[in-house]
Amino acid sequence: MDLKLNDRVVFITGSGSGLGRKFALDFAAEGARVAVNDVNAAGIAQTVDLVKQAGGKAMPAPCDITRLEAIAEMVRKVEAEYGRIDILVNNAAVLLAHALFLETSPEDCDREIKVILYGTLNCARALLPGMIERQYGKIVNIVTDAARAGQEREVNYSSAKGGVISFTKSIAREVGRHNINVNAVSPAATNSPMRLEGLRQLKEKIGEQKLLEREEKIRRAYPMRRIGEPEDVSHAVLFLASDLARHVTGQVLSVNGGYAMLG
């Protein structure tokens, strides 16, 4: 099925690694031109190289999205290079501590909220004027079912993502009249590089056998009996960014194998 993303311009935050890199590669494979945003210059360069090696088009878009003036300047540079930005994927996030709330620091809480929530708001504030002027745009925010169902030891992270869910629904009401769709994709456990690194560290602590037992217990909690893969999330993002989803806005799409069936 043709997603009709050829020659669209997509700005993806946090695409210097992980799921964001997967999104960049998949958008490029559909013919989109990709602005690769991150604070990690080496990661950006690697993503851009991988896109180009696969025959796609990409440019580096380094900046700290917690600074509105920085993202606004980068948007101007991308628009000067590519002419416009059609799609924004707010993917950047940090999870600084997997610990009980009272064991986390206010400084870590502040950082997670700045990157996840304020970063999302800043990017929307910088890109929406152009989308409104052109009467076209797609925004896809990456959230988490931890924010929808609740998750111990991720209170700060989940709270920030919960704010993004509320922003998704609220801003969709404001900009729908301008032919702009705003939706969210909400994964559960996904075998992203971040998760795989966490499993590697856990294996060192508890041993391979206990890790295997833990993973089997997790899989049994999913009706599909599997952990999500990056492409599962990416396919949902591409769909919501396409005109096939032109009548879908203000929605939160869980990609979770049925782990949480939320209304």
Supply the DSSP string of 160-219, one letter for each residue: HHHHHHHHHHHHHHHHGGGTEEEEEEEE-SB--HHHHHHHHHHHHHH-HHHHHHHHHHHH
- Active-site residue set: 157
By the 8 A CB rule, do 23 and 237 touch? Answer: yes
Q: How far apart are CA 5 and CA 18, in angstroms?
A: 22
Stated as kind and residue range, the H or E segment containing 138 is strand 137-142
Per DSSP, helices labelled H in the chain are 18-29, 41-53, 68-82, 106-113, 119-134, 145-149, 155-175, 193-206, 208-220, 230-241
Produce one character per residue of 77-100: b if its CB has 16 or more CB atoms within 10 Å, e if not.
ebbeebebbbbbbbbbbbbebeee
The contacts of residue 162 (CB under 8 Å, 6+ apart) are 143, 147, 148
Contact 241, 5 (CB under 8 A): yes
**Residue 197 neighbours by CB under 8 Å, 6+ apart:** none
Report the alpha-carbon distance of residue 252 to residue 168 in Å, rounded: 8
